[in-house]
Amino acid sequence: MTRVPRPAVALLLLLACAALLDTGTLTATVALAATAAAGAALAVCALVAARRVPVVPPTRVRTAIRDRARRTAFLPQRDPDAKGRTRPRAPGRALPATVA
């Protein structure tokens, strides 16, 4: 048997009181019940999905972080004077079309 957390029960009781004591129509009560059911289903799906995540050993995580650090330790530098690369323009006067 599954245990229902106390805050969830309290929330359901609060919603039931609001639905029963509200002077709204039956449509509003049905909409509130459908919203509560959808929220409960979403919470259950999230809980099941969170529990199904495979456990990764910490050594594997450390190895992945270390390998990534080694790959990004020395990034290739761009040479602005390399063959085929144009030199960047120096900032100059603003064009008349861009002046506001």
Place 3 in a pLDDT band, splitting at 50, 70 and 90: low
More confident residue, 67 or 26: 67
Which residues lie below 8 Å from residue 29, measured CB to CB, with a gap of 6+?
19, 20, 22
Short-list 42, 43, 45, 18, CA closest to 31: 18
The pLDDT value recorded for residue 19 is 64
Domain ranges of the chain: 6-68
Phi, psi of 93 (to 5 degrees): -70, 150
Report field, pTM of the whole predicted structure over 0.85: no
Average pLDDT in the chain:
76
Please compute the mean of the pLDDT values over residues 10-39 and round it to a whole number: 75
